[in-house]
């Protein structure tokens, strides 16, 4: 569309062409009404699709009054041309800036913050840009950013699509893989912004090929290299942010442009970013880095056979100590308490001098019925009565002859009512009732 230099559209004099796009050219023009230079996007022809996009851009920008969105001063028609009038930005585009290589992290952070602010504002007002790329980021003085070219913009809730089935709009290097089988969304804009950030910190886009179709096929199929593999001065934290925003699944990306900008800015607060060289130990070159869509897995250590034997031996020792503490020692303690109690009882029996007269008195013969077998406990009961009738006596509450360990002689040592009773049957001598089987 050359040859328009010198053409006047209303009070705008076209001076030279600044750029050429898919459906329009941009010219530097002089506005005689305001006495200033402006930029004019000029569309020639009456193709219905292009005219509708042109009208949509004017309406979208008119709705989006934001400090980082390039405003529209005017728009009109002058057969056979249609035009939009915008400010003339002198410092070029982000594409020009990236020709010199990757940006510093601080500069990338500042530019990302401005773009994200404009894009978030557009999304909040129901507009999807659909063509985020460096040539649509204009640079003002002191790297003041303007988001431009809403020619492919669409309303989030809009139903009037300008594309035919199977036709994709956008620039393949910045197009989200989900556009292959779905409509443009705020997430596809955020993906494009992530590609732009990747390019700012590495100096290149993650996917390139000889043809647009091959590029987009890589967007769909391939995983991007972690940025630190391209620029070794980048940190793992920056890798994490970029690999998340470039996830193939829209649900695992950052859900807003603002969230992406905040996450990237946070990485610059860490000790190994913000211009400070990363820590010497780096492992990205020796392991496969998956897109960070979940919490990295905790690194698993492999236990060698020698280590396993050592651990098994240690476990055996711990178990043995546990058995000693909770079984052997308590049982030993119970045994010695039992022995101590038995010895104490025997000593006490021997130490008491029991003086009783007629301790072994037997009942009169008249008490025994003739022809009747004697009661086996009758002797013990008689002895018990004799013992209870004399003083002193030793009575213990051992009411059962456990395992037949205790002596029972029917007179001196007996089990009777209430316990085990000891009677001294010999005057001025000590007698005891020894335990027959002391072994527990």
Other CB atoms within 10 A of residue 192 CB:
26
Contact 260, 193 (CB under 8 A): yes
Contact 198, 242 (CB under 8 A): yes
- Cα separation, 399 vs 433, in Å, equals 15
> Per mean pLDDT, which of 121-125, 151-155, 305-309, 384-388 is the most reliable?
121-125
Confidence of residue 190 (pLDDT cuts 50, 70, 90): very high
Contact 226, 239 (CB under 8 A): yes
Nearest to 266 by CA among 112, 62, 74, 432: 112
Q: Give the pLDDT score at 435.
A: 54
pLDDT > 60? residue 91:
yes
CA distances from 172 to 38, 109, 440 (A): 30, 24, 90
Confidence of residue 271 (pLDDT cuts 50, 70, 90): confident
pLDDT digits (tens, 9 = 90+) for 37-60: 999 999 866 666 677 777 777 777
What's the number of domains the chain is made of? 3
Q: Identify whether 117 is part of a domain.
A: yes
Domain shared by 331 and 265, yes or no: no
Of 58, 87, 116, which residue constitutes the final position of a domain?
87
Domain shared by 186 and 142, yes or no: yes
- Cα separation, 18 vs 7, in Å, equals 15
Q: What percent of the chain clears pLDDT 90, i.e. is strictly above it?
A: 42
Domain shared by 115 and 196, yes or no: yes
Burial of 122 from C-beta contacts in 10 A (0-12 / 13-18 / 19+): buried
Q: Give the pLDDT score at 10.
A: 94
- Cα separation, 21 vs 109, in Å, equals 28
Confidence of residue 381 (pLDDT cuts 50, 70, 90): low
Does residue 268 or residue 435 have the better pLDDT?
Answer: 268
Active site residue ranges: 131
Instruction: Decide: pTM greater than 0.75.
Output: no
Nearest to 205 by CA among 221, 191, 189, 186: 191
Domain shared by 103 and 216, yes or no: yes
Of 184-193, 240-249, 291-300, 331-340, the one with minimum mean pLDDT is 291-300
Q: Identify whether 312 is part of a domain.
A: no
- Cα separation, 157 vs 115, in Å, equals 23
Q: Identify whether 292 is part of a domain.
A: no
Q: What percent of the chain clears pLDDT 70, i.e. is strictly above it?
A: 60
Contact 420, 435 (CB under 8 A): no
Q: Identify whether 2 is part of a domain.
A: no
Domain shared by 233 and 327, yes or no: no
Please name the residue that has the structure tokens 């060289």. Answer: 277
Domain shared by 125 and 72, yes or no: no
- Alpha carbon 260 to its chain's center: 18
Q: Please state, rounded to an integer, the average pLDDT across all residues of the chain.
A: 75
CA distances from 389 to 355, 356, 399, 423 (A): 12, 9, 20, 11
Cα dihedral 156, 157, 159, 163, rounded to 10, equals 10
Domain shared by 258 and 325, yes or no: no
Other CB atoms within 10 A of residue 171 CB:
21
DSSP state of 290: P
pLDDT > 60? residue 366:
no
For residue 135, what are the domain limits? 94-157+169-280
Contact 174, 195 (CB under 8 A): yes
Q: Give the pLDDT score at 251.
A: 96
Domain shared by 81 and 106, yes or no: no
Q: Identify whether 100 is part of a domain.
A: yes
Confidence of residue 290 (pLDDT cuts 50, 70, 90): very low
Domain shared by 339 and 404, yes or no: yes
Q: Identify whether 130 is part of a domain.
A: yes
pLDDT > 60? residue 244:
yes
Q: Identify whether 340 is part of a domain.
A: yes
Domain shared by 48 and 15, yes or no: yes
Of 35, 61, 87, which residue constitutes the final position of a domain?
87
DSSP state of 327: I
CATH number (domain holding residue 266)? 1.10.510.10
Of 203-212, 236-245, 250-259, 361-370, the one with minimum mean pLDDT is 361-370
Contacts of 20 (CB under 8 A, 6+ apart): 1, 26
CATH number (domain holding residue 67)? 3.30.200.20
Question: What is the mean predicted confidence (pLDDT) over 132-144?
Answer: 93
Other CB atoms within 10 A of residue 324 CB:
12
Q: Give the pLDDT score at 369.
A: 44
Exposed e or buried b for every residue in 268-285, given b needs 16+ CB within 10 A? beeebbeeeebeeeeebe
Residues in the chain: 440
Please name the residue that has the structure tokens 């300008």. Answer: 162
Of 36, 57, 87, which residue constitutes the final position of a domain?
87
Question: What is the mean predicted confidence (pLDDT) over 1-15?
Answer: 86
Q: Give the pLDDT score at 298.
A: 33
Token couple for 356: 């009783």
Domain shared by 128 and 245, yes or no: yes
- Cα separation, 14 vs 55, in Å, equals 21
3-state secondary structure of 236: helix
- Cα separation, 122 vs 116, in Å, equals 10
Q: Give the pLDDT score at 319.
A: 74
Confidence of residue 395 (pLDDT cuts 50, 70, 90): low
Domain shared by 62 and 191, yes or no: no
Confidence of residue 399 (pLDDT cuts 50, 70, 90): low
Question: What is the mean predicted confidence (pLDDT) over 271-294?
Answer: 40
Q: Identify whether 289 is part of a domain.
A: no
């Amino acid at each position: 569309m050359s040859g328009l230099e010198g053409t006047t559209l209303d009070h705008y004099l076209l001076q030279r062409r600044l750029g050429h796009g898919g459906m329009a050219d941009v010219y530097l023009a002089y506005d005689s009404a305001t006495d200033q230079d402006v930029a004019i996007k000029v569309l020639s022809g009456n193709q219905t699709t292009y005219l509708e996009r042109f009208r949509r851009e004017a309406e979208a920008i008119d709705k989006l009054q934001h400090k980082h969105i390039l405003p529209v001063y005017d728009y009109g028609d002058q057969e056979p041309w249609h035009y939009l009038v915008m400010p003339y930005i002198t410092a070029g585009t982000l594409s020009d800036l990236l020709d010199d290589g990757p940006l510093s992290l601080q500069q990338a952070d500042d530019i990302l913050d401005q773009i994200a602010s404009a894009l978030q504002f557009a999304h909040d007002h129901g507009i999807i840009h659909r063509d985020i790329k460096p040539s649509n980021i204009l640079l003002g003085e002191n790297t003041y950013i303007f988001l431009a070219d809403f020619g492919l913009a669409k309303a989030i809730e809009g139903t009037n699509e300008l594309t035919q089935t199977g036709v994709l709009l956008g620039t393949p290097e910045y197009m989200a893989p989900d556009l292959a089988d779905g409509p443009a969304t705020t997430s596809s804009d955020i993906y494009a912004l992530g590609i732009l950030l990747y390019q700012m910190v590495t100096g290149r886009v993650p996917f390139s090929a000889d043809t647009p179709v091959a590029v987009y096929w890589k967007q769909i199929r391939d995983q991007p290299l972690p940025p630190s593999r391209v620029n070794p001065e980048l940190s793992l934290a920056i890798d994490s942010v970029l690999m998340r925003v470039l996830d193939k699944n829209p649900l695992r990306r950052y859900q807003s442009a603002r969230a992406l900008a905040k996450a990237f800015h946070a990485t610059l607060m860490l000790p190994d970013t913000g211009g400070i060289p990363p820590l010497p130990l780096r492992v990205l070159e020796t392991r496969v880095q998956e897109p960070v869509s979940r919490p990295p897995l905790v690194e698993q250590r492999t236990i060698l056979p020698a280590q396993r034997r050592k651990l098994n031996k240690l476990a055996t020792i711990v178990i043995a100590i546990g058995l000693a503490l909770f079984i052997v020692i308590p049982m030993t303690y119970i045994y010695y308490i039992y022995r101590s109690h038995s010895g104490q009882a025997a000593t006490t029996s021997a130490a008491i001098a029991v003086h009783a007269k007629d301790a072994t008195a037997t009942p009169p013969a008249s008490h025994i019925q003739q022809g009747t077998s004697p009661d086996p406990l009758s002797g013990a009961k008689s002895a018990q009565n004799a013992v209870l009738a004399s003083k002193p006596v030793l009575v213990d509450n051992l009411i059962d002859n456990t395992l037949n360990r205790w002596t029972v002689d029917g007179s001196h040592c007996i089990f009777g009512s209430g316990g085990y009773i000891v009677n001294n049957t010999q005057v001025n001598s000590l007698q005891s009732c020894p335990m027959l089987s002391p072994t527990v």
